[in-house]
Structure 1
Amino acid sequence: MARLRSIKLAAGNRTNWRQLLTEFLAYKKLEDGVDQYTLNDYDRTVNLLFKRFPKAWESEQALRDAVMEHLAQDIAPPTFNNRLVYLRTFFKYCISEGELSTNPLATMKKRRTEECAVSIEVDVLNALLAAPNQNTFVGLRDYTLILLTLDTGIRPSEGTKLIPQDFNASLREIYVPAKVAKGRVARTLPMSEVTRKALRKLISVHAPEWGDNVPIFCSYEGRELNRHTWGDWIEIYCKKMRTRIRPYDLRHVFALEFLRNGANAFAAQRALGHSTMEMTRRYVALVNDDLKTEHAKASPVDRLIKSTKAKSNTKI
């Protein structure tokens, strides 16, 4: 097999990358259960590479050169990391199909992203909650999804896929199924009474003909709300408030406040759906940095020493 593969590659008799991408997307959907939004991201990322470098597929050296130049662009670390992961996964599939002998991104590491606490004042959050018109379906939907994110830390891509059966009003819980969860591991999230009431009200105004499989957070026509559209709605509210908040920022607010208010790191990990403690530790570190800052402002010892020095100077 290896001999046949090397002959095929050397001869340049390779399948067109567009056909491979089509097969790859079908494979990810059927075998891995990847959702449509992620499939669109794969499609967009691979197409962008070959749009910039039309001759990249002519040889493996040309592909490697193109990929290196493509990723050398002046782009933000999150953008770089997304391109790296999506392209590397696609190339891995190409190797399994005998279309590549090596993955040009096999050893490349992600860029480190700068961690900063998402600090949103209480009055700003209250203004955001007050922005949607709850007398309309869309306004009630948006108000409830903001509440749910702040209350549970659920990811936007998870929250927009929940259906009424995932909500347990009597236990005040929302169930995130494995097929919806980013890490493909189900989890159950407790919620406050305020959020429970808002969810019950939203589900009660769903049109009867929609059925049980229409998402809780859908359009007024009963169509699925994707995370990009949700981001557009948040942007509309924020422009009126003259501020900028992304849907994911609300998840960060939950994580930091959850820890600041006494939750332990393991509880935060379970709530946030992190597969490892790595990301949770970053939130813990940010909270610890907050504590250091506040300590520097309000240390009782510093106040005592300053007071003692002031009295000594007065006596002199």
Structure 2
Amino acid sequence: MKKSQFKLDTLQMRFLLSKKVNGIKEITLESYRKIFMNFEHQTEKPMDYDNLLEQTADFFYKINWYSDMAFNNQRAHLNCYFNFLIEEEILKANPIKELKITRRKEDDQPKPTCIEELEALLAVIPSYSYVGKRDRTMILLMADTGIRPAEVVRLKVDHVDLQKGYIFLTKDITKTKKDRITPISDEVKNSLVSLREIVLSQWENKDHLFLTEDGEEMETHVLRNNMKRYSKLAGVKVTPYQLRHFFGTEYLRHEGNLLYLQKVMGHSNLNTTKKYIQIDENDLLRSHRTASPIKGLIRKKNTDNQRLRIRNKDNITI
């Protein structure tokens, strides 16, 4: 569904106005707008208040594959809106409660994809189309930097400094409302340059980095749905947040600095970053080979013995 086709209905606008009057931040209002749009996108029709129970059931069936966090976010926002409709006497009961759609228990441990699944995913993305090149670049960028999916779709050309090799995420697009810098690899930089050339050849005066095939701003649900489609083709399951988790775990696995990772990923609390420390058998073996104190002791002993043999050979008194 094209972004230009979606319009808030009268009740949705009244709801957002009431939230705004009560001091809700603009980023939260935008979250509601996007969820209303996703509801229409998933159910393929505007919100039908006469058949909202059935439509709500269809919506949650369609997003059942979402991560626990994303699922709960959609549920919480819609639950608030449905309660508003009850207060306005538009509904008699909340469809979420009638359908017994409960909040999922979130596992706060990272669930990264693996390199093999990522390679399989990239292999099925068509390289001959703009959408394919765009999606491939977005996936590589998330895996390379750990940037959140909602931050990816908000990126503008001015956020990227190709000469210095980093992206400057301004507080107006970050989840934490704080500026941060995230370096990018040369491979991702080249992919961004190539994609930008295509954008400039098709559309003028577009400041967003990633656009729909119609030249409109991207939405998070488009990225999610495309990755779901690619995952199905590849026979794997890779979500946007798994790419973020992939970056975090691989960064530390390759001896990246924990404090640097906290800055790059935009974590307010270091304990959140520490959850990305995942150690498997190979990690332990590799680390032990490098850091074993006995290895150093034996090496020193062998060196001392070698010196002793040389000196005895030359009749040097020790």
2:218 to 225, 244, 248: 225
Q: Describe the shift of the 1:87–1:211 C-alpha distance in structure 2 as closer, same or farther (beyond 3 A).
A: same
Counterpart of 2:17 in structure 1 is: 23
Q: State yes or no: 1:245 paired with 2:238.
A: yes
Task: Specify whether residues 18 and 194 from structure 1 end up closer, same or farther in structure 2 by C-alpha distance, changes over 3 A only.
Answer: closer
2:174 and 2:287 map into 1 onto residues whose CA distance is 41
The alpha-carbon deviation at position 210 of structure 1 amounts to 3.5
Name stretches of at least 5 consecutive residues in structure 1 with no aligned partner: 1-16, 53-75, 92-109, 302-316
Q: Is the 8 A contact 1:21 1:43 kept in 2?
A: no
What residue in structure 1 maps to residue 261 of structure 2? 268
Equivalent-residue separation in structure 2 for 1:275 and 1:113 (angstroms): 19
* Alignment of 1:36 onto 2:24: no
Kindly indicate whether the alpha-carbon contact (under 8 Å) linking 2:141 and 2:188 is maintained by their aligned counterparts in 1. yes
Distance in 1 between the 2:276 and 2:37 partners? 32
For 1:280, the equivalent position in structure 2 comes to 273
1:180-191 matches, cutoff 5 A: 180-191=173-184
Contact 1:214 1:224 in 2 (8 A): no
Distance 2:22 2:126 in 1: 39
Contact 2:15–2:81 (CA under 8 A) maintained in structure 1: no
Q: 2-side partners of 1:295 and 1:133: how far apart?
A: 38
Amino acid at match of 1:185: K
Counterpart of 1:154 in structure 2 is: 147
Partner of 2:88: none
**SS at structure 2 position matched to 1:283:** coil
Q: Distance in 2 between matches of 1:87 and 1:150?
A: 33
Helix, strand or coil at the partner of 2:249: helix
What one-letter code is carried by the residue in structure 2 that aligns with 1:265? L
Task: Please give the alpha-carbon distance, in whole angstroms, between the structure 1 residues aligned to 2:224 and 2:216.
Answer: 16
SS in 1 for 2:111: coil
CA distance in 2, matches of 1:225, 1:29: 27
Selected match of 1:140 from 130, 133, 140: 133
Q: Show the 5 A alignment for 1:104-123.
A: 113-123=106-116
For the 8 Å contact 1:218–1:224, the answer to whether it is kept is yes
Q: Distance in 1 between matches of 2:150 and 2:108?
A: 22
* Correspondences of 1:58-77 after superposition (within 5 Å): none
Whether the 8 Å CA contact 2:155–2:210 is kept in 1: the answer is yes
| Correspondent of 1:179 among 172, 175, 179 | 172
Change (3 A) 1:88 1:38: closer
Under a length normalisation based on structure 2, what TM-score does the superposition of the two structures give?
0.62
**Partner Cα separation in structure 2 for residue 37 and residue 19 of structure 1:** 13
1:90 to partner: Cα distance:
11
Aligned to 1:64: none
Report how far residue 173 of structure 1 moved. 1.1
Equivalents in 2 of 1:219, 1:80: separation in Å? 27
Deviations 1:103-161 (A, max 9, x none): xxxxxxx9862244535332321222222222211111011111100100011111111
Q: Could you state the TM-score of these two structures normalised by the residue count of structure 1?
A: 0.63
- Report the counterpart of residue 5 of structure 2 in structure 1: none
What are the within-5 Å matches in structure 2 for residues 250-261 of structure 1? Answer: 250-261=243-254
Once the two structures are TM-superposed, the CA of residue 194 in structure 1 deviates from its matched residue by 0.4
RMSD value, Cα:
4.1
Partner of 2:196: 203
- C-alpha spacing 1:262/1:86, structure 2 compared with 1 (3 Å): farther
Letter in 2 for 1:146: I
| Aligned CA distance change for structure 1 residues 179 and 234 (closer, same or farther; 3 Å) | same
Paired residue secondary structure (1:184): coil
Equivalent residue letter for 2:129:
T
Letter in 2 for 1:21: F
- Sequence identity of aligned pairs in percent? 23
Contact 2:170–2:180 under 8 Å retained in 1: yes
Structure 2 residue runs of 5 or longer lacking an equivalent are 1-10, 40-46, 54-66, 84-102, 293-318
